[in-house]
Amino acid sequence: MVGMVGTVGGQEVTAWRPRVPGVTEVFHARFTEYAYPMHVHDAWTLLIVDAGAVRYDLDRHEHGTPHDTVSLLPPHVPHNGSPATPGGFRKRVVYLDGSRLGDELIGAAVDTPDLLDPLLRRRVGQLHSALARPGEELEAESRLTLVAERLRGHLRRETARPPRRRDPVLARELRELLDARVVQGVPLEEAGRLLHAHPAHLVRAFSAAYGIAPHQYLMSLRVGRARRLLLDGLAPGEVAPVAGFYDQAHLTRHFRKWVGVTPGRYRSSSR
């Protein structure tokens, strides 16, 4: 269902979860100065920029999003984002779960996240138009099918290239442990015992492999869970404990840092 736009201080945010299989969230926003810190998502981020431009780092390599490209950022890979033009940027994002794009395509997306494809760009725009109209879920699903097919075509051509990303075993094991314990978390001492490694070595290995510290990675996942719960209609005070935050203030502090608005504003942008 279409959300309502909330505007404060030059920022506009609209977020909703449509009844379309494979789509976990739709997020439209305009930011003039806000910069995203390094973070991760557990879904694929399909991004188009309608005004201005965004610069971002993905796997320690700088990229940009001019208005004629489609950017596809894979799950679990840290990235940031900031305005690359004086007036900020206006973007539309669809978050897709693994049923649309498989994990085997992550490496190709890391190597080539920005796709210069006018047909794909037009189809993604048509997808957003359909997602914004209640009752047009079948059209949105049909358009998403065509978009996903074209994305897979791009990524499969890239899989022939030598992969650039390194994923050491210890770092991957810690990531899997964090993925499994998003809400309760895991102290580094316990993680060290489970993975038979010194806590300091765990932090160094994880940061070297993914470009983000373990605590930042875990907080990103908690914010992602909070986003989904807020779109389900839960109040911020209800969301905080079930998403892994100490209290509502703890949630608000990190949510504003990662999303650019408070949980209350984010929730009010949807209906």
Q: In 3D, which of 2, 8, 14 has the Cα closest to residue 268?
A: 14
Tell whether the model's pLDDT for residue 160 goes beyond 60.
no
Please measure the distance between the N-terminal and C-terminal CA atoms of the chain and give it in whole angstroms.
7
Q: What is the pLDDT of residue 4?
A: 39
Q: Mean pLDDT throughout 99-109?
A: 89
pTM for the model stands at 0.82
Q: What pLDDT, on the 0 to 100 scale, is given for residue 61?
A: 73
Lowest mean pLDDT among 57-61, 73-77, 136-140, 176-180: 57-61
225 has pLDDT over 80: yes
Task: Work out the average pLDDT over 143-154.
Answer: 93
| CA gap 143, 109 in Å, rounded | 21
Longest CA span, the chain: 54
Residues of each domain in the chain carrying CATH 2.60.120.10: 6-158
- Taking the C-alpha atoms of residue 151 and residue 147, their distance in angstroms, rounded to an integer, is 6
Whether 163 has a pLDDT exceeding 70, the answer reads no
On whether the 6-158 domain is CATH 2.40.10.10, my answer is: no
In the structure encoding, which two tokens stand for residue 186, read together?
């895991």
* One-letter amino acid for residue 9 of the chain: G
pLDDT at 151: 94
Q: Assign 230 a pLDDT band (cuts: 50, 70, 90).
A: very high
Report which residue type is found at 110. Answer: V
- Classified by CATH at the fold level, domain 169-268 comes out as Arc Repressor Mutant, subunit A (1.10.10)
Q: Pinpoint the residues of the chain covered by CATH 1.10.10.60.
A: 169-268
232 CB-near residues (< 8 Å, 6+ apart) = 17
Q: Could you give the count of Cα atoms lying within 13 Å of 42 in the half-sphere of its Cβ?
A: 19
Structure tokens given for 121: 């760009």
Instruction: Write the pLDDT tens digit of every residue in 165-210.
Output: 555 899 999 999 999 999 999 998 999 999 999 988 899 899 888 8
